[in-house]
Structure 1
Amino acid sequence: MAFDGLFIHSLLKNLSPTLIGGKLTKIYQPFEQDLVLNFRKVRKNQRLLISANAQNPRFYITTETITNPDVAPTFVMVLRKYLEGSILQEIKQVDVERIVNFHFSNRNELGDEMQLILSVELMGRHSNVILYNADDNKIIDLLKRINPDENRARLLLPHASYELPPLLPGLNGFNLSLDQFNNLKTKYPEPMDFVKQFNGLDGDDKKEFAGYLEDDFTYSSLQTFFNQFNRPKGYILQTTKHKDRVYTYLPYHLELNLIYSNDDINKTLDDFYHEQANREWVKQKSKKIENIVNNELKKLKKKIIKLRKQLDQAENSEGYRIKGELLNAYLHEVKPGMESIDLPNYYKNNQPLKIKLDPALSPARNAQKYFTRYQKLRNSIKHVNEQIKLANENLDYFESIQTAIDNADPQDIDAISDELINQGYLKEQTHNRRRKKKISEKNLNTFKLNDGKKVLVGKNNYQNDWLTLKKSDKRDYWFHVKNMPGSHVILQDSNPSDEDIKEAAEIAAYFSKGKTSSHVPVDYVQVKRIKKPNGAKPGFVIYTGQNSIEVTPDEQDVLSKKI
């Protein structure tokens, strides 16, 4: 079930009493298309998340702590100017459309009362958040300013008059009378045709509503279906294709399996969108550094292919030496101005070998040219091997950055950016300089094993170095996937059981490039056996005396241990 009109109707039954009458104390725009409004009511803070993301437009009360940008975007500055300190008077849905108006009362600089409306339109790629004055209907500002050429239905720019978007005709099932029902049934005797006359229903709702009417095509069935949206609960159900969906009611006519339920629909939404929202926010915040990482990975892979070809050519350079020897041996047969000559190769039973010649050079100089070429290639082997080693180390480094991004929470991206700045891959913006935060245990991922032992996990290369080389006791055990990028994982125990080792190894495998693989090899060793070479890149260490274990990480099992 998407955020359709019926879903929003249900959500407001739960959300409105919590927020109406509350004072809007803080407003943030942590990401390009997401807002967080902090309300204070009855000595409690409630954070309302509003997202105009095209794939998942939504709003609900969240407990998520979201890091805010150092420089506030223009829209949030406007909202702070007009709405901070205001009182939320009312929340009204436009009929059963995906439009919700938050009505605020505030005073302007002259002390005069203002009525302001924050309109949240959850319409896929057309989703938007619009602030306008209720007195003259003039738009003050909006999250997405739309060029008139892109939307000719209405003008979405500051100072324009606010108008509703074009809406499809349809009925509101909450207001339908018995007479209207009977007239509509006469006109549309087939349940699905009947259902199509109503607004606010997504595909699943229509199937479920039609199922009610197929069981009993009466006004009572219609009321039963719509009344459940006035008593919402949170349900997460799974389709036959193992995709999770969230509902405010429990469907009976759809092929779904119940996997979670909660009386609080906001809590259900917060849980349901947690991982998805994190991925969206990380993607938004890491876009710039991911471009750098992807470009570096492409360049390094191409470079390694080229270097391996050079190495192969150098290691198979004996042919140049042989040609030089044969030319010297049969120098009397080589005439000035020749472009090639066939000479017996005494290394291969005197089989003829065709040798190309430079007609501008003397026979002796042609022979010397082959020896020079041979010697140059032989001498290059050491250098090319060093270059391949360096390129592979850099490739491993950028793959570790990519793995850190894949496992990051939004607040971790700044630390990864700092690392790339310090390594010279990213230029720091002068206007965006911020004080670097010291690493502490609260920055890490923390897990508790079944027997209560603690496991700490670094989320980027700087955290990995700090955790392994500074935080850990030398007797603790260190875990890391074998021969692939991953987090440093520390089991805070000097004498772990076999079960402890298995659980910690599963955590290490999950926070690695092999998180979706089976039979992932993980090395483990005491911290005292780990060293960091001089000049090594962040996150790179060497170790000896390790043991290994093969595990298959299970996401649900691993994350259930997180504290």
Structure 2
Amino acid sequence: MALDGFFIHAHVHALNQTLEGLKIDKIYQINATDLLLNLRGRGSVKLFISAHASHPRIILIDSKPETPQEPPMFCMLMRKHISGGIIQSVEQDGLERIVTINISARNELGDIVIKHLKIEIMGKHSNIMLLDENQTVVDSIKRIRLSMSTRPMGPGVRYTLPPSTKAPTFKTDRESFSEKLSDVKLPVFKWLYLTFEGISPSLASSITHQAGIDSKTDTASLEKEDIDPLYASFIDHIEQVKRSNGVYMYFVAGTYKEFSSIPLTHYRSLGYEERFTTDFDEALITYYHTKKDTNRVSQKSNHLIKLVDLHLDKLRKKVENLEGDLIEAGKLEALRLRGELLTANLHAIRKGMKSITVFNYYTNEDLEIELDVTRGPNENAQRYYKRYNKAKTTLEEAQKFIEIADEEIRYLDHVRLLLDQAESPDDIEEIKEELMETGFVKKIYSKKQKRAKKLPPHRYESSEGVTILVGRNNFQNDELTLKKSFREHIWLHTKDTPGSHVIIQAEFEDIDDQTIIEAAEIAAYHSKARYSSQVPVDFTEVKFVKKPSGAKPGMVIYEDYKTIYVTPDEDKILNMKKVD
């Protein structure tokens, strides 16, 4: 998918022409990640904004999707701050995948100020934030705690751009281009998209192809005469995006595979069918409909997605509340100390005293302790001991629940991913059965209902002809890893990221490094990091993978592993897939 900085540059230009000067009439929040703005001015326009982990996007749509009867808190806050506002402009931050909609609206004092709707289109890190005139976050559709990220996002946080080490593409001259090229040793196409803003792997491959250079050629092996055509191709692609006014769509065997704001030369050479349209929204809507496979899959998954999202919301809110309790309960040692010191000084306490200053023999300092004037000396000491015991019990119970909740959140996060990546109605049905067995969905019994035939795991074949299997759901993950595979087979899984179990049906001594790389790319593709780069994937022998007693389906622990970093290439992975 080429939803890169170059495409967004062209798309933002088109959006700005359409949206500038329109009034925000109505605001809806469709679900946990998607917004809809009803705009009026030159007719009626519906702006759909999504921070979906797999399909983040900004498009104009024709019809209003179904919305909840009770608007979520973020939606209500949006209505309060920007309803009735006028869109002044739509901008992009450099060539980053960040879009800003600048809106003039009235503040609480009735003064007109500029507020900013920030949309970060960054795969699993996608988010929508409303900023005030001082660039302070009013709220975000996904709240990110400091414990979850070094870049927290939520009310009161000062907005900063995500950290980036990439060079500004539009400002790169021939000299700096050559200097950067001489500093590293990488495949040329990889060097391009890791070094410069806005360039995706597909665009990088097009640049190298036009320059007559194999995309996988190592930068260290480039000759001096190679740099001029590479830089010329680099500049030509930049100039094309500056004047881009539409979308190039690429099809393989009738299937919509890719889109770009400029022609991709390597796809032309591969014989992909190329179609052009000036309608950005039509191109994106068609693409995402294709990626969803069929409306039937979407319809069958929607109900389960809502149930899973509901469970996740409840668990996260409970954890958030309990973390607050932990902070309070963390003061329990101070309560115990006060009880102890009062007990040691009972002779000095008189009923009716508001406080007493005693010597703290742990710190060799005086400590003032508040007293209940209605209680006697011993009762005041016992009061602190009771508060200590209550806080201790609260702390222990909160810690236990948080551990259980964190495990359920990890499990449901993966179920949510499986629903997003489901390829057929049968996939959805198997996930539904899993949720029934685990108690998240009420069991439905029917004499007429036939149990669906079990689907086989996804099957791939490496370039060396080795079979690679991937679990479709958590029950199948367990079965594939713990029952169907030999102890010496190789198991892979994305590190600290929800994903499927992947099995190479061979031993280490029988395969080469390329098979492990390809299997790791497949593991990254079947994970929440599908559209990310440099995804860490752990791999080990099946015998080192264990399932803890009482663990949720698909949840395992493993040891004696190694980690590899890969960037999944959808075309390459789909070409390896085999259909039984």
1:94-139 CA-partner distances (Å, limit 9, x unpaired): xxxxxxxxxxxxxxxxxxxxxxxxxxxxx95499xxxxxxxxxxxx
Kept after mapping to 2: 8 A contact 1:246/1:272: no
| Alignment pair present for 1:367 and 2:373 | no
Look up the SS of the partner of 2:465 in the other structure.
Answer: coil
Kept after mapping to 2: 8 A contact 1:311/1:384: yes
User: Counterparts of 1:183-332 in structure 2 under 5 Å?
Assistant: 240=244, 243-245=247-249, 257=263, 259=267, 275-278=290-293, 280-332=295-347
User: Counterparts of 1:106-505 in structure 2 under 5 Å?
Assistant: 125=63, 240=244, 243-245=247-249, 257=263, 259=267, 275-278=290-293, 280-353=295-368, 355-378=369-392, 381-411=395-425, 412-429=427-444, 434-441=449-456, 444-495=457-508, 496-505=511-520
Kept after mapping to 2: 8 A contact 1:417/1:426: yes
Q: Go from structure 1 to structure 2 and tell me whether the alpha carbon gap of 1:509 and 1:376 turns closer, same or farther (over 3 Å shift).
A: same
Matched with 1:529 is: 544
Kept after mapping to 1: 8 A contact 2:490/2:542: yes
Look up the SS of the partner of 1:535 in the other structure.
Answer: coil
Matched with 1:512 is: 527
Letter in 2 for 1:475: E
Q: Go from structure 1 to structure 2 and tell me whether the alpha carbon gap of 1:556 and 1:387 turns closer, same or farther (over 3 Å shift).
A: same
Matched with 1:188 is: none
Shift of 1:503: 1.0
Task: Pick one of 530, 544, 547 that aligns with 2:559.
Answer: 544
1:218-264 CA-partner distances (Å, limit 9, x unpaired): xxxxxxxxxxxxxxxxxxxx99489554899xxxxx98526567799
Shift of 1:346: 4.2
Kept after mapping to 2: 8 A contact 1:407/1:459: no
1:300-325 CA-partner distances (Å, limit 9, x unpaired): 22222233333344444211122112
Q: Where does structure 2 lack aligned partners over 5 or more consecutive residues?
A: 1-45, 48-60, 66-240, 255-259, 276-282
Kept after mapping to 1: 8 A contact 2:244/2:261: yes
Matched with 1:562 is: 577
Kept after mapping to 2: 8 A contact 1:465/1:539: yes
Q: Go from structure 1 to structure 2 and tell me whether the alpha carbon gap of 1:245 and 1:498 turns closer, same or farther (over 3 Å shift).
A: closer
Give the Cα separation in 1 of the matches to 2:274 and 2:261.
24
Kept after mapping to 2: 8 A contact 1:505/1:551: yes
Look up the SS of the partner of 2:314 in the other structure.
Answer: helix
Shift of 1:273: 7.4
Give the Cα separation in 1 of the matches to 2:399 and 2:313.
20
Q: Where does structure 1 lack aligned partners over 5 or more consecutive residues?
A: 1-53, 56-122, 128-237, 249-253
Shift of 1:290: 0.9
Look up the SS of the partner of 2:537 in the other structure.
Answer: strand
Give the Cα separation in 2 of the matches to 1:246 and 1:515.
20
1:50-91 CA-partner distances (Å, limit 9, x unpaired): xxxx99xxxxxxxxxxxxxxxxxxxxxxxxxxxxxxxxxxxx
RMSD: 3.8
TM-score when normalising by structure 1: 0.51
Look up the SS of the partner of 2:293 in the other structure.
Answer: helix
Letter in 2 for 1:477: I
Q: Go from structure 1 to structure 2 and tell me whether the alpha carbon gap of 1:418 and 1:349 turns closer, same or farther (over 3 Å shift).
A: same
Farther-moved stretch of structure 1 (390-399 vs 361-370): 361-370
Give the Cα separation in 1 of the matches to 2:274 and 2:449.
39
Letter in 2 for 1:470: K
Q: Go from structure 1 to structure 2 and tell me whether the alpha carbon gap of 1:348 and 1:306 turns closer, same or farther (over 3 Å shift).
A: same
Share of identical aligned residues, percent? 38
User: Counterparts of 1:4-83 in structure 2 under 5 Å?
Assistant: none
TM-score when normalising by structure 2: 0.49
Q: Go from structure 1 to structure 2 and tell me whether the alpha carbon gap of 1:293 and 1:322 turns closer, same or farther (over 3 Å shift).
A: same
